[in-house]
Amino acid sequence: MNVTRRTLLGSALVASFVLSSQVFAAPALVMGFSQVGAESEWRTANTLSIKEAAKSDGVTLKFADAQQKQENQVKAIRSFIAQKVDVIAFSPVVESGWETVLREARAAKIPVILTDRAVNVTDASLYATFIGSDFVEEGRRAGRWLLERARKTPNASVNIVELQGTVGSAPAIDRKLGFEQAIAANPKLKIIRSQTGDFTRAKGKEVMEAFLKSQGKNINVLYAHNDDMAIGAIQAIEEAGLKPGVDIIVVSIDGVKGAFEAMIAGKLNVTVECNPLLGKQLMQVARDVVAGKTVPKRIVTEEGVFPAEVAAKEFPNRKY
Ligand code: GZL
């Protein structure tokens, strides 16, 4: 083979090696994310998942904590629009009051992705997709667990007190709805008191203290819309000289580590999983949306139900 051909072949081989060895980094993407706050173990895990996924996916994340205030989320979204980010994602603290700012994002041609909680808008085209749980089903799962347990004492009245999540939030509205749908099958199961504990341990304890003062030994079950309020309520039950998990059955939602520890200690009876680890899905969907790909309008996360009997075995596998 003559020199020229050998040189050409050699340089072609070198070029193809260089090209193939270059890892084509995903295109730069700037995401503005407005988070509800830092009110619960669930939220902490959710934030960590989003930040870690952004880092590993090479997404530049502008992160704003709204301290559970809608006006702070609106401000953050407006700031993301002014900064001309490529995509906006947020977990809306409450369902209503988003039309105006979402129209501003659309006018600026910035796609919006909802994570975790949904919004109530007349025009669903104001957001690209929703990634999160089916809260109504979570409420039904909690109710079905209680229905099953109540079958052991078919003639006993079951008085339930309910700690609701943040007023006006999708999880609070839907978990209440789903639970009531499920327990309607047994008229012996009655919700005798229901009040918001705003998804926090402190408020959950405070409201449970009030329930115990007014209802005392008349309470058979606590249904809490999240584990943090349940854990706060467990403290109140113990301070009232009662045994949580025994004198008062405790039913909760999220599946955070604190709930598994309470179940292992015999103080909580069941937790319905609500998966906060949405980060990876969010980054992938954000890239697809920015690339103009069609994405499903709703992406629901897979979740289970964990009664106390399986808590010790399952605990080592928990990721949040
Ligand atoms: C549910 C999420 C809720 C959790 C709470 O997806 O929005 O908010 O259940 C958290 O722990 O505060």
- Any idea where the domains of the chain sit in the sequence? 30-133+276-302, 135-274
Residue with tokens 């329930």: 211
- Does domain 30-133+276-302 fall under CATH 3.30.365.10? My reply is no
Query: CA angle 281-139-120, nearest 5°?
Result: 60
More confident residue, 193 or 301: 193
- CA dist 43 and 39 (Å) reads 6
Model pLDDT, residue 9: 63
Contact of 194 with 159, CB cutoff 8 Å: no
SS3 87: strand
For residue 28, give the DSSP letter: P
Q: Give tens-digit pLDDT for 224-250.
A: 999 999 999 999 999 999 999 999 999
| Predicted pLDDT of residue 301 | 82
Please tell me the predicted confidence (pLDDT) of residue 216: 82
| Confidence at 18, pLDDT banded by 50, 70, 90 | low
**CATH architecture label of 135-274:** 3-Layer(aba) Sandwich (3.40)
End-to-end Cα separation, the chain, in angstroms: 63
Ligand 1 atom at minimal distance to the Cα of residue 42: 11
Helices 227-239 and 41-57 sit at what angle, rounded to 10 degrees? 150
When mean pLDDT is compared across 105-114, 182-191, 255-264, 300-309, the lowest value belongs to: 300-309
Burial class (CB in 10 A: 0-12, 13-18, 19+), 181: middle
pLDDT, residue 306, reads: 97
How far, in Å, from the CA of 64 to the mean position of ligand 1?
17
pLDDT above 60: residue 84 = yes
Mean pLDDT, the chain, whole residue set? 94
Residue 298 Cα to ligand 1 midpoint, Å, equals: 18
Band the pLDDT of 24: cuts 50, 70, 90.
low
Predicted pLDDT at 99: 98
CA 220 to chain centre: 28
Q: Which of 167, 259, 170 is nearest to 222 (CA)?
A: 259
Same topology between domain 30-133+276-302 and domain 135-274? yes
Q: What is the pLDDT of residue 3?
A: 52
The Cα 198–Cα 301 span in angstroms is: 23
pLDDT mean over 196-206: 98
Q: Tell me the chain's radius of gyration from C-alpha atoms.
A: 24
Please check the confidence at residue 1 and state whether its pLDDT lies above 50: no
Ligand 1, atom 9: nearest CA belongs to which residue?
226
Q: How far is the CA of 277 from the centre of ligand 1 (A)?
A: 12
Greater confidence (302 vs 242) lies with 242
For residues 145-171, give the mean pLDDT: 96
User: Environment class of residue 227 by beta-carbon count within 10 Å: exposed (0-12), middle (13-18) or buried (19+)?
Assistant: buried
